[in-house]
Structure 1
Amino acid sequence: MFSFLLFVLFSCSSYIYCIEVCEDFKYYVKPDDKHCHDNPDGERNLTEILKNWKGVTVEEHNIFTKDGYQILINRAYTHKDKNPVVLGPGAFFTTLAFANRGNKSLAHHLILEGHDLWIVNFRSGPYSRGHKSLKDTDEKYWQFSLYEMAVYDLDSALELVMEKAGKKGIYIGHGGGSTIGYIYSSVKVEAAQSNLKGIIALGHLAYMDGTKSYLRFLLPLVDYLKPVINQRLHGEFPLDWGELKCESLLDYYTYEIGKVPIYGDDFAEIDPVYLPIMRTQNKQKSVGVNVLIHLYQIMKSKKFQAFDFGAAVNQQKYGQSTPPEYNISAIPVPVTIFLGNNDWIATNPNAQRFYSQLNPDVQCGYKTVECSKWNHNDFIEAKDIELFLYGPLFEAIDNMSFGMCVK
């Protein structure tokens, strides 16, 4: 049973080694030159994809956080007329998910609109595996939670944006990326006031109790197996559970069906043109076990809280035996939330609970995407993402840029 559950969760993290793409799924049965072509982005890293866009200036900033982790921040722009925008991926996603769909990519639209774009590659991602004194095969390297990704990684990134651009950034986080934004702005309130213009959450994630996703069954197993994961895998939980080749149309549908218990179903929004690329690049190969356990603790406790180390260590770190809750009302910057009607991870009741606890002055919009089957992955991968998401999203960005909080 355990093996089956792991397969269901992480089949969506397997890799498809097929870079030929077709305009419709029916052409994958027997590809031809008229309807199919090779997409070179499948072999490129994030910097290479950005540099391939006409007229775009690209910078790489490798920096060290205050706790010693090396993270890569990508910058891309044309004329930089508009406010800086900072993108942060979810816990299971790489930053390539923002850029590997050509002109349809969120990164491309932001640059085209004149924004100074910054993309945060959080610690342990494919471009951020370094450390001043640790190797990524050391158990100590992996002993971080969402808290460290927020108060060290995102904090360092926003400081860099302010230093180089001279303006506050608007942070857009997907899923767990939004969680990181909330932790940062509720813990480092003064830094957020100085360096952050606002937060836009795509597939908002804070409270997690009552989630429909099968993560409610799988995350407890990770918590139970933590001693084994630390001993055998130095605290690095693998998300790459094997190779899934796109040899038939059935393979694609099998692959997508395997995702449904986690993210929700929306087969109409599967994009045949970019599916092989997204499946090759979008998912992390691994994640720190404490990141998963932190999500589980938030789910189990029904609280948006700090990492629970156990009573004794909690007393040392927090001055109390239980982990403190993050002070949502202390978030000092405008927050806009986007939800999907069919998002099995981020539910409407949990989002409403969070939004109601924000200071009314920073409640800057609670929006549901106007597509009845919109799920958690659709914020990154939907075929009609330009139709359903980009209009209201760019309106929210413009409102935040000009200091208008339209609720």
Structure 2
Amino acid sequence: MSIPLLGRLHILDWPLIIMSFTLAWFEFIISIITTLLPDSFIEFCTFITKQFFKFTSNPVNLIIQQKKKDNLPKEQYQQEFKYAYIKTDDAITKKHYELMINLLNAENVEQMVQLFGYQIESHIVRTKDDYLLTIQRIKGKNRPPNDKVVYLHHGLLMNSEIWVTMIDKYQNLPFILYDLGYDVWLGNNRGNKYSQKHLNFNLNSTSFWNFSLDEFALFDIPNTIDYILESTGNEKLTYIGFSQGSAQAFASVSFNQELNNKIDQLIAISPATTPHGLYSKFLDVLLKSSPNITYLLFSRKVLMPSCIFWQKIMYPPLFDSLIDISNYLLFNWRAKNITKLQKLSSYAHLYSTTSVKCVVHWFQVMSSKNFQMYHDVNTTSLSGLNPISYPLKNIKVPIHLIYGTTDSLVDIDVMKNQLPLDSTTTYPVENHEHLDNLWGNDVYEVVFKQVLKYLNEDVDKVYSRLFRASNDVKLIEDIIRPNNSSINEEVILNDDSINQSYLKQVNVGERQKIDSNTYMDYERNQTFGSNVFI
């Protein structure tokens, strides 16, 4: 008979456990304190943060601009509402800047695609173990359909929004495919923002969050594919996965032989099956040492739900900087191919909930260097009970791997050896990291063109059909840059009747300088009363 807890942990685990509890309680206490802080104090902190970011290189300054009193005449109302461009090294048009703001503020994928002239058709998939998943179908203007179906699936700690955050319309893969005639579907894993419902388990129960990659492969992927094919009447579809989204498909197809007849090809962007360890050796050892430590630190339910809270109250450029710092410490990613303006819209939709068990599963995979099923934490290598590996060699579907050469998570040599050699191709993207293959400023040229080639599209014809036809005529205010140095721009705030998002009210009267000689001021032409950052 073993002593509870003591009998199941090695003595070397105890210092790590104490540290884990300390960090967990520290975050909890900070969250409680922040919740209880008065709004005026948070407003002050937001204002101070904004002033700090003014002095950084290539600053992105955001403040909230609010509606004035309802009894103000419309003429005066419009005259006193102005906004200025931010100072940046990149060429930013008025249209792009406003689109970034709207993407940043968008609450769901429906609002995001509407900004580009598309619609979302939501569908509910009931899995065989009674989870309800929301999947989305792109709808829009009439175009000649090509009778082909494409299913795109997100990665770890993400949801379907990650596919439509790019400021340039055709830097978003779903829009490219839709306008080329494809029937485009976006999937969602159980537990993320769009799939938090079970017919029997409460969302706050441990039972709801008791899932890992195995359940994604056993239920979410095959049940979603069956639903899509039944809805469209097609016999096959093309599967495009990002990061974990590709690993889920590999796992599912490897032991579900029926799926080999329902997928014509698997296109894996930044694929992951046996990632390298974390860049931080301390964190790598800490989280790999024992699954119990991860469970003690994060519980057996949802992983880091406080991230949503911090994102809502933090100044967006600061939040983006913390994401960059975290990615560097964990994976040695430097995000040099993603612009600051793009980060504001993309990072706002980066995080979505998943289970702690899913992350524990990944640490087991990284530790063993084997793409395996989840292994019970109470067993050890000395027990003679070993995990089951996914039989990836059984996959009969053509596989195409698109990976960044500087992506620390992708061990391409190990992955190639795991997959069938005769049906797997690889395409390296030079000097690209994990997220660059989704949000990099050159993502169409170096990633999506290759995807289109796998789909047997003529990229020259694609350019003629989409890009030349979509070259918007520049607005006159995007061309003319008048010298308005004498204009004193005022932003009037503190209207208690207006709802806020992301930032608190700030009393600011300022003018943003474009370069050493030129200032730009523009009147706000959108519907007044909505929250806008400048």
TM-score range, shorter chain: 0.7 to 0.9
The correspondence for 1:160, drawn from 227, 237, 240, is 227
Distance 1:30 1:297, change over 3 A: closer
1:309 aligns with 2:376: yes
* Partner in structure 2 of residue 358 of structure 1: 419
* Partner in structure 2 of residue 376 of structure 1: 434
What SS does the aligned partner of 2:351 have? Answer: coil
Aligned residues: 370
Extract unaligned runs of 5+ from structure 1: 8-16, 19-23, 315-319, 400-407
Distance 1:297 1:250, change over 3 A: closer
* Partner in structure 2 of residue 34 of structure 1: 85
The one-letter code of the counterpart of 2:125 is I
Q: Deviations over 1:343-366 (max 9, x none)?
A: 11113xxx2222234334422x20
Q: Do 2:154 and 2:245's aligned partners in 1 also have CA atoms closer than 8 Å?
A: yes
The one-letter code of the counterpart of 1:94 is N
Distance 1:197 1:77, change over 3 A: farther
The correspondence for 2:269, drawn from 202, 215, 219, is 202
Q: Do 1:263 and 1:376's aligned partners in 2 also have CA atoms closer than 8 Å?
A: no
What SS does the aligned partner of 2:445 have? Answer: helix
TM-score by length of 2: 0.62
What SS does the aligned partner of 1:398 have? Answer: coil
What SS does the aligned partner of 1:236 have? Answer: coil
The correspondence for 2:216, drawn from 125, 149, 157, is 149
CA distance in 2, matches of 1:164, 1:249: 42
CA distance in 2, matches of 1:330, 1:105: 32
1:138 aligns with 2:202: no
Q: Deviations over 1:196-251 (max 9, x none)?
A: 11111111111235565766345327823355368xx4522215445267759777
The one-letter code of the counterpart of 1:398 is N
1:392 aligns with 2:392: no
Distance 1:252 1:157, change over 3 A: closer
The correspondence for 2:398, drawn from 315, 319, 334, is 334
What SS does the aligned partner of 1:26 have? Answer: coil
Q: Do 1:222 and 1:292's aligned partners in 2 also have CA atoms closer than 8 Å?
A: no
CA distance in 2, matches of 1:48, 1:375: 28
Distance 1:48 1:362, change over 3 A: same
Distance 1:25 1:270, change over 3 A: farther
Q: Do 2:163 and 2:174's aligned partners in 1 also have CA atoms closer than 8 Å?
A: yes
* Partner in structure 2 of residue 293 of structure 1: 360
After TM superposition, the structure 1 = structure 2 runs for residues 201-350 of structure 1, keeping only pairs within 5 Å, are 201-209=268-276, 212=279, 216-217=284-285, 219-220=287-288, 223-228=291-296, 233-238=299-304, 240-241=306-307, 243=310, 252-253=320-321, 255-284=323-352, 286-309=353-376, 321-347=385-411
Give the drift of 1:161: 1.6
CA distance in 1, matches of 2:25, 2:221: 30
CA RMSD, 1 decimal? 3.3
The correspondence for 1:184, drawn from 236, 252, 256, is 252
Distance 1:251 1:63, change over 3 A: closer
The one-letter code of the counterpart of 1:237 is L
TM-score by length of 1: 0.80
What SS does the aligned partner of 2:354 have? Answer: strand
CA distance in 2, matches of 1:153, 1:84: 18
CA distance in 1, matches of 2:393, 2:264: 17
Q: Do 1:26 and 1:249's aligned partners in 2 also have CA atoms closer than 8 Å?
A: no
Give the drift of 1:255: 4.2
Give the drift of 1:340: 0.7
The one-letter code of the counterpart of 1:64 is R
Identity fraction in percent: 20
What SS does the aligned partner of 1:114 have? Answer: coil
Give the drift of 1:313: 12
After TM superposition, the structure 1 = structure 2 runs for residues 24-173 of structure 1, keeping only pairs within 5 Å, are 26=58, 28-29=60-61, 32-35=83-86, 36-37=97-98, 39-41=101-103, 42-54=105-117, 56=118, 58-78=120-140, 79=143, 80-81=145-146, 83-102=148-167, 103=169, 104-165=171-232, 166-173=234-241
What SS does the aligned partner of 1:198 have? Answer: strand
Give the drift of 1:101: 1.8
Extract unaligned runs of 5+ from structure 2: 1-18, 27-45, 48-55, 64-82, 87-96, 458-534
CA distance in 1, matches of 2:198, 2:450: 39
Distance 1:28 1:127, change over 3 A: same
Give the drift of 1:268: 2.8
Q: Do 2:148 and 2:183's aligned partners in 1 also have CA atoms closer than 8 Å?
A: yes
CA distance in 1, matches of 2:190, 2:176: 26
The one-letter code of the counterpart of 2:163 is F
CA distance in 1, matches of 2:403, 2:134: 29
